[in-house]
Amino acid sequence: MQRGDGPHTRPIVLIAILGIILGVAVMIISVVIVRGFRTEIRDKVVGFNAHLQITDISNALGSDMKRLEYEDSLFHRLENLPGVLEARPYLDRPAILESREGIDGIVAKGLMNKHPELFLADKLVQGSMPSLPDSVLGDGLLISRYLADRADVGIGDRVSLYFLGEGHDISTRRLEVTGIYSTDLEDFDKRYVFMDIRHLQKISAWGLEAQIYVSDSCENGQLKIEGRGYGGYDKTYSWSNGWTGKGPHYICPTEDMELQMILSDNAATLRDTAWLSLKTNGTTECDCGSVKHTTLTSGSSYESYIGGYELFVKDFNELDKVREELDANIGPFLYCSDIIERTPEIFSWLELLDVNIYIIIILMIGVALVNMSSALIITIIERSRMIGVLKAMGAENKSIRSIFIRHAARLIITGLVIGNILGLGLAFIQSQFGVIRLPAENYYLNKVPILVHWQDIVLIDLGTLTLCMLAMTIPSMLITRISPVKAIRFD
């Protein structure tokens, strides 16, 4: 059968093919844009807060963040769970940032050497990630472009962060801006800065820090020695020579001696220890002015406490499954929350995008069905004489219908091929050159994102072909109503 050679068939067939081409192209572009949009937004949100967070159970009840003691055994158990890509300890604290506009309430999140911040490294617009030396606290700060503009600071400048501690004490950290990032997620960019987690551990004062203070001068011929403790909740001071309490205590050593002070509290916080070494002049006389002293500490137990654990999963679609596995393994005193639970407004918005895709696909396939059905009906009407001749020669309705259905299939496949070329071609151009830009303040992205999953393309093609072929069986029934006598006589 020659394609579209009747006076009415040719334009109808061309319109039908054009409808399939445009419909398939629109479906492909819509799917790759929405998938790209969902993936980009989701990855940015997850980059700030991970797929899953494990915290103290009290956090689920809306109370202030409670500390967790870092446990190697639990950490390794978490990172080796099926479906978990990476696990990391985390700690964040609210803070105040000075800016030229006044003050901004922010969240300072800790960075550790144990894991690379690949998400943030990819979002840098200036500078580099803060260095995290092993021996001392890193003084670098990673800040968003939004906050950097508000504070009027750049790379190398120092900014002050203020943290509210226990008893309404204010802790200050003055840090150097080493990097500026931008994710276009304004709600997150205006809120998060990143710094050495050890600063936050010390500010939180969840551990204990023991120190021994020795007066530089004698009092009544004796040395004044005092224990000092930081952190904890109700501290107890235990001295190796039997003293109790922080002091001050007085002593006039006549020989070299070592003192040890153990700091503990009533909340089962990990203890900390400080040591004092006293060196005399070698005489038996009490001469506190000639005593040399050296103090040492174990470095505090701050770093043993964290806010919780963050987990990243290998496949977002397996999030619920991994969470169920975690709930069964972490015990009754820990709570697991997922990113959807913590940011429901963003994921509810992303789910609405799927509804739009379903509507577009239904409309486009509907248009293709109507166009192809119309083209097939017109073709059958114009070929009625041929149908009559075939029937007169003994051809069955089934065989004649198959001729027209195969003809329709060729038209559909032609439209699918061209539609795929058009849709994927436009998607490639956008992904490589970012032709279509977006206002980041409204869409959280500065250009239309593209993400092609070939299974989506295959499903679109197979779905369109299958539905169109099934729909063609209905207009082909018109062939059974054509009488060979009337059809030939009409000619």
Residue range 467-490, pLDDT digits in tens: 888 888 877 777 666 666 565 654
Q: Are residues 75 and 182 in the same domain?
A: yes
Give the distance, in angstroms, between the CA of residue 9 and the centroid of all CA atoms in the same chain.
54
The residues pairing with 70 across neighbouring beta strands, listed in sequence order, are: none
| Reported pTM | 0.81
- Of 270, 300, 330, which residue sits at a domain end? 300
312-335 b/e (C-beta count within 10 Å ≥ 16 → b): bbeebeebeebbebbeeebeeebb
pLDDT at site 312: 93
Give the distance, in angstroms, between the CA of residue 441 and the centroid of all CA atoms in the same chain.
19
How far apart are alpha carbons 189 and 395 in whole angstroms?
A: 73
pLDDT at site 167: 58
174 belongs to a structural domain:
yes
- Of 274, 300, 326, which residue sits at a domain end? 300
Q: Are residues 369 and 461 in the same domain?
A: yes
64 belongs to a structural domain:
yes
66 belongs to a structural domain:
yes
Q: Which ranges of the chain have pLDDT less than 50?
A: 1-5, 490-491
Is the preceding peptide bond at 248 cis, omega within 30 degrees of 0? Answer: yes
pLDDT at site 430: 93
Q: Write out the two tokens for 374.
A: 């119309």
Q: Are residues 186 and 218 in the same domain?
A: no
Instruction: Outline where 91-160 has alpha helix (H).
Output: 118-122, 145-151
User: pLDDT for 111-150, tens place per residue?
Assistant: 987 655 567 888 899 999 898 888 788 899 999 999 999 8
* DSSP-derived 3-state class of residue 489: helix
How far apart are alpha carbons 380 and 223 in whole angstroms?
A: 113
Task: Detail the DSSP E strand segments found in 81-130.
Answer: 84-90, 92-99, 102-111, 124-127
425 belongs to a structural domain:
yes
How far apart are alpha carbons 302 and 483 in whole angstroms?
A: 93
φ and ψ of 145, to 5 deg: -65, -35
- Of 321, 341, 361, which residue sits at a domain end? 341
Q: Are residues 362 and 484 in the same domain?
A: yes
Q: Provide the percentage of residues in the chain whose pLDDT is more than 70.
A: 90
pLDDT at site 482: 67
Q: Are residues 68 and 142 in the same domain?
A: yes
User: pLDDT for 180-205, tens place per residue?
Assistant: 999 988 889 999 999 999 999 998 88
Q: Write out the two tokens for 226.
A: 């005092």
Q: Are residues 151 and 85 in the same domain?
A: yes
Q: Are residues 408 and 475 in the same domain?
A: yes
Q: Write out the two tokens for 124.
A: 């840098």
136 belongs to a structural domain:
yes
Q: Are residues 95 and 195 in the same domain?
A: yes
Q: Are residues 422 and 481 in the same domain?
A: yes
How far apart are alpha carbons 379 and 5 in whole angstroms?
A: 9
Instruction: Identify whether the C-beta of residue 28 lies closer than 8 Å to the C-beta of residue 457.
Output: yes
Q: Are residues 189 and 212 in the same domain?
A: no
355: left (phi over 0), alpha (psi -120 to 50) or beta: alpha
Q: Are residues 140 and 150 in the same domain?
A: yes
Counted domains in the chain: 3
Q: Are residues 197 and 218 in the same domain?
A: no
Which residue range(s) make up the domain with 109?
52-206+304-341
3 belongs to a structural domain:
no
pLDDT at site 476: 73
Beta-carbon-side half-sphere exposure of residue 161 (alpha carbons within 13 Å)? 28
